[in-house]
């Protein structure tokens, strides 16, 4: 009697370059995540990497424009956000949307501000012995504050913060907590926040 060959799972790591689109100079992060990471966990990793507050809806979108997102208990997989049916992000992984190097998919956070992130797979490789995942290994610039009005609102915010004579300068300075440096990026703190995602 023939015995069935057991499939051996070989763990791998996806190196992801994540960039907010329509903003220059670029705001980006490089993330190392396990290939089998569910999209629901990748959402939490992205929130930590960009310093978002996870206070808005989000979704992922693959190259075919198929959408994946959070489905509450009892929602059907064919729940739609005005496009293709929304699939349950807990049932799909990073490798499903980005199977190989140069694969690209999207992540949209806050459907009012519409922060669109382009996620490009730089490499798929074996995990490094002794290294913990997920991790943030590089990046540039601070992400815009939540609820600032998308790209146009962010540009207006920066303009007001730069000009002490701007009519909204004091109010917006208080709104951002007293200071905001768009060029700031703390790799150590960001990596620590990303590594805290279980």
Q: Is residue 158 part of a domain?
A: yes
Q: Is residue 70 part of a domain?
A: yes
Q: Is residue 6 part of a domain?
A: no
In DSSP notation, 43-79 reads HHHHHHHHT--S-S-EEEE-TT--EEE---TT--TT-
- The CA-CA-CA angle for residues 142, 132, 41, to 5°, reads 60
Count of C-beta atoms within a 10 Å radius of residue 104 = 13
7 falls in which pLDDT band (50, 70, 90)?
very low
Q: What is the CATH number of the domain that holds 57?
A: 3.10.290.30
Asked if pLDDT for residue 15 goes beyond 90, the answer is yes
- The CA-CA-CA angle for residues 47, 71, 18, to 5°, reads 30
198 falls in which pLDDT band (50, 70, 90)?
confident
Residue 7 is classified by DSSP as P
Please indicate, yes or no, whether residues 42 and 113 belong to a single structural domain of this protein.
Answer: yes
pLDDT tens digits along 121-173 = 999 999 999 999 999 999 999 999 999 999 999 999 999 999 999 999 999 99
For residue 87, report the phi and psi dihedrals to the nearest 5 degrees.
-95, 155
Please indicate, yes or no, whether residues 132 and 175 belong to a single structural domain of this protein.
Answer: no
E strands within 11-163?
A: 13-20, 27-34, 58-61, 67-69, 86-88, 104-109, 115-125, 135-140
For residue 172, report the phi and psi dihedrals to the nearest 5 degrees.
-75, -30
Please indicate, yes or no, whether residues 115 and 66 belong to a single structural domain of this protein.
Answer: yes
Please give the Cα distance from 108 to 61 (Å, whole number).
8
Domain that holds residue 84: 13-142+184-195
Where on the phi/psi map is residue 133: left (φ > 0), alpha (ψ -120 to 50), or beta?
Answer: beta
Please indicate, yes or no, whether residues 148 and 86 belong to a single structural domain of this protein.
Answer: no
What is the domain count for the chain?
Answer: 2
List of residues 6+ apart from 157 with CB closer than 8 A: 144, 145, 148, 149, 172, 176, 180
Please give the Cα distance from 155 to 161 (Å, whole number).
10
Please indicate, yes or no, whether residues 149 and 175 belong to a single structural domain of this protein.
Answer: yes
pLDDT tens digits along 56-84 = 999 999 999 999 999 866 555 555 555 67
Tokens representing 195 are 């590594």
Where on the phi/psi map is residue 99: left (φ > 0), alpha (ψ -120 to 50), or beta?
Answer: alpha
Q: Is residue 3 part of a domain?
A: no
Residue in 53, 48, 52, 15 with CA at minimum distance from that of residue 189? 48
């Amino acid at each position: 009697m023939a015995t069935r060959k057991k499939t051996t799972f070989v763990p791998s790591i996806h190196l992801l370059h994540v960039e907010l689109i329509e903003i220059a100079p670029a705001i980006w992060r490089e993330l190392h995540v396990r290939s089998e990471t569910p999209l629901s966990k990748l959402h939490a990793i992205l929130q930590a990497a960009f310093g978002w507050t996870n206070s808005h809806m989000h979704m992922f979108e693959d190259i075919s424009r198929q959408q994946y997102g959070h489905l509450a208990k009892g929602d059907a997989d064919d729940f739609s956000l005005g496009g293709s049916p929304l699939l349950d992000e807990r049932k799909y992984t990073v490798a499903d949307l980005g199977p190989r190097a140069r694969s690209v998919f999207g992540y949209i956070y806050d459907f009012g501000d519409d922060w669109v992130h382009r996620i490009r797979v730089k490499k798929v490789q074996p995990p490094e012995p002794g290294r913990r995942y997920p991790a943030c290994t590089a990046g540039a610039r601070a992400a815009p504050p939540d609820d600032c009005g998308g790209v146009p609102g962010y540009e207006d915010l920066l303009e007001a913060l730069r000009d002490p004579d701007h009519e909204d300068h004091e109010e917006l300075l208080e709104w951002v907590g007293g200071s905001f440096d768009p060029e700031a990026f703390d790799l150590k703190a960001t990596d620590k926040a990303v590594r805290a995602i279980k």
